[in-house]
Structure 1
Amino acid sequence: MANAFQTALVNLFEDRRKKNKRYSLRAFAKDAQKDPSSLNRIMQGTRIPSEKVIREISRKLKFTDKELEMFVRDCKVSRLHERELASLKQSALRTISRDEFKLISDWIHFAILECLNLKDFDHTVEYIARRLCTPVEVVEEALARLIQLEFLKFEDGRYELLSGNTSIFHLRKSDEAMMKMQGDLLDVSKEALMNVPLEERHHSSLIFSFRSSDLPVIAEHLRVLRKKLNDQSNQTKGRADQVYCISLSVVPLTK
């Protein structure tokens, strides 16, 4: 997936070529004051440039400050994304495809998978429905989808996980199904804020100022936090007594 800087460079180069058919990549690189092969790799998406390189090229090609900050932020996200994908390839996580996620994007599916790790799990639909405060028919439909997609199997009266932890990191956060799930989980959090005793939940927030181009740094801190909590959760499988949800949001308050 192309990042914003890559797309902007390609579009600017094509615009200049339309105005001057003799305008070449070498001429474009001269205007950017960069080596043609290096600039070409950036435009092809095979190289993610550093913040220093982005700023140098943006100044030479006269991109606006707002565009520059967007380029820096987006390239940081791309770099973190590449590192995470490399890490996923070395892990035992099952990556969920976009088509699979569309079918199980309702959070109830992931909560059901976690219910199997509870120490008193009794392998009945009624148990899951009671623990998740969800109608039996909704649980039955979700279980059927999980079995169909081979996340679960039901044999000899017992549910069994067919894969360990799952990951949807590689999916675009702007996908409609992804945004719906995040919105639904925020609704769950809001309902808990109103109805769940304080000793059984935790809500906190922080209002702070930060460089928008450094948003990926915050995202990386939160990713590390999620990983640590997930690792700790894996150590309590079969001994846990509750399924929890952490919903993390970082949103701008200024325009």
Structure 2
Amino acid sequence: MQKNFAAYLEKEFLERRNRNPSYSLRAFAKLLGVDQSTLSKFFNGARDLSWTIRTQCLERLGASETVIAQFEEERRTLLSEYTELEESLMTVIGDWRFWGVLEYLKIDNKCSVEFLANRFHIPVEDMQGILEQLLKLGFISQDQNVYKLLKPNNSWVDGSKTSEARKMLQKRLSQLSYDAIDKVGIESRYHGSLTVAVDKNRLPEIKDKIMAFQAELGQYIQKKSSLNEVYQLTVSFFPLTKGSEV
């Protein structure tokens, strides 16, 4: 997706420069409302642009509905790389440790049970049980002490429904986030929030944007990176006020 959108922007820039040889990248960046350095790095593949910025660029360039629809479809394809788990699986692996292990195997797929247990600070026998479940359910395979991720990207979030298993996982992740405030130095974490007035009729749209942000950030973080730790992003969006119907 990045390559296609970068090619689109470069084409728009070159067309303007062909009409005006003195037209600069700085002028183009100003037109888009993007920092020149960021735009240059995006063209070189060293940076990405969020969907919000991409939408802004399309609007400022007066892109046709066809072009906008094309990039929206590519975005949906990107998000579809995350497999939404069925409820039957959630009741089995509705524990943050399963998700953490799946991600850690992207870092080191030759690690021992003892090593994993130490990294996640859990008993070896618990880690052994986690790996056995993941093998049984087809999330990973093992050959010659090497693990292979069969389902590398998974999502348990559903913006339209929940369940006891999903609630329990949410509660545990929220507790881990709370504990990290005291246990993890500020240089190795980020805790922030946003308090904002909203039109609650747009909540479905807001949920979609939050879920898209999570998926895009996950793709961005793991691209062109040296992976060495497993982090957890917990995003909450809930009312502080009570509606008149409550």
- So what's the TM-score if we normalise by structure 1? 0.60
Once residues 92 and 162 of structure 1 are traced to their aligned partners in structure 2, the CA distance between those partners, rounded to angstroms, is: 13
Q: 1:165, CA displacement in angstroms?
A: 1.1
Where 2:122 maps in the other structure, the secondary structure is coil
Corresponding residue to 1:163 among 132, 141, 151: 151
Matched, 1:215 2:199: no
Rounded to whole Å, the distance in 2 between the matches of 1:160 and 1:227 is 22
Q: Does 1:246 align with 2:233?
A: yes
| Offset of residue 167 of structure 1 | 2.9
Aligned residues: 170
Matched, 1:103 2:92: yes
Higher relative contact order (CA 8 A, sep 6+): 1
Residue deviations 1:108-158, cap 9 Å, x none?
10110000111x554211221122122212211111110000101121011
Query: How far apart are residue 253 of structure 1 and its match?
Result: 1.0
Structure-to-structure mapping, 1:218-229, within 5 angstroms:
218-229=206-217
Cα separation, 2, equivalents of 1:189 and 1:89: 27
Residues 139 and 172 (structure 1), Cα distance of their counterparts in 2 relative to 1, 3 Å cut: farther
Aligned pairs for 1:78-93 within 5 A: 87=76, 91-93=80-82
**Aligned to 1:246, what secondary structure does the other structure show?**
coil
- Matched-pair contact (CA < 8 Å) for 2:139–2:150: yes
Task: For 2:189, give the aligned amino acid.
Answer: R
| CA distance in 2: counterparts of 1:207 and 1:178, whole angstroms | 25
The alpha carbon displacement at 1:217 in A equals 2.6
Q: Please provide the CA RMSD for this pair.
A: 2.6
Of 119, 131, 148, which residue of structure 1 is paired with 2:136? 148
Partner of 1:18: none
Cα contact 1:92–1:164 (8 A) shared by 2: no
Which ranges in structure 1 are unaligned for 5 or more consecutive residues?
Answer: 1-82
Q: CA deviation at 1:230?
A: 1.5
Change (3 A) 1:88 1:148: farther
Partners in 2 of 1:216 and 1:225 — Cα distance?
Answer: 14
Structure 2 letter corresponding to 1:112: V
Change (3 A) 1:89 1:244: closer
Q: Identify the residue that residue 166 of structure 2 maps to in structure 1.
A: 178
Are residues 1:129 and 2:117 paired?
yes
User: 1:222, CA displacement in angstroms?
Assistant: 1.1
Counterpart CA distance in 1 for 2:85 and 2:227 is: 25
The aligned amino acid for 1:110 is W
Identity fraction in percent: 29
User: Does residue 112 in structure 1 map to residue 101 in structure 2?
Assistant: yes
Q: What TM-score do the two structures reach when normalised by structure 2? A: 0.62
Segments of structure 2 that go 5 or more residues without pairing to the other structure are 1-71
Change in CA separation of 1:169 and 1:187 when aligned onto 2, cut-off 3 Å? closer
Superimposed CA distance per residue, residues 145-181 of structure 1 (whole angstroms, 9 cap, x where no aligned partner): 1000010112101111112312334586421101110
Q: Secondary structure at the match of 2:106?
A: coil
Distance 2:191 2:99 in 1: 21
- Deviation, 1:234, is 3.7
Provide the rounded CA distance (Å) in 2 between the counterparts of 1:91 and 1:207: 30
